[in-house]
Amino acid sequence: MITKELCNAIQKDWNGKVYQKWEKEWKRFAHLNSVVPVFKGKKVLEIGCNGGIESLEICNHCASYSGIEPNPDYFVQVKKTMKRAKCKNVNLLNVRLMDLDVSATDFDTVFTSFVMYHFKDKEVEKFKSEILPKANLWIIYNRAKNRETKNNSYVFENYKNTVQFVKDCGFKMKLEWQKQKIWYYIKAYRD
């Protein structure tokens, strides 16, 4: 797990809003630490990598990493963060999901962490029809409280909707809840 000291050192180099403060996110970081071995040897596409704190953990396990971050401030942050990555095959893209050239992006695993409520309906459709068919593993962290889906009609903060969406996309899955049920984790996979 990323230490508080390393997280703070990375974030000192950032300009602008610091979104993933260690003190607030350490439980999620600890859970991710137990999950990251699934990324070993994988070609990962992360959608919405933000400042890259979770991305850095993933890059210490995966074979290659592509991250898209549409926010220009967070994109500058993730570029600074990923200078510390062990994985040398890193491709960072400052694009929206709709602008991603899926055919030019090599991945077999998708990671979405607290981003699905941002998707617009057209992005959900692109995600379902163009991105997920290339993946055999999809790791999902999602909110169940405190942040409503406003941009799409899927209401992903309702875990039942997300579970149904995962199944509709042809994945089997394992669902875990955070203790206070503020967020949930899904490991979605194909045989």
Domains detected in the chain: 40-189 (3.40.50.150)
pLDDT-derived band at 16 (thresholds 50, 70, 90) equals confident
- Mean of the per-residue pLDDT values for the chain? 92
- Residue 154, pLDDT above cutoff 80: yes
For residue 175, pLDDT beyond 90: yes
Contact 46, 107 (CB under 8 A): no
Rounded distance, CA 1 to CA 25, Å?
A: 11
- What does the pLDDT look like over 122-140, one tens digit per residue? 999 999 999 999 999 999 9
> The tokens of 110 are what?
């998708």
Residue 87, pLDDT > 90, answer no
Residue 66's pLDDT band, with cuts at 50, 70 and 90, is very high
- Nearest Cα residue to 50 out of 108, 8, 86, 94: 94
Question: Is the entire prediction scored with pTM above 0.85?
Answer: yes
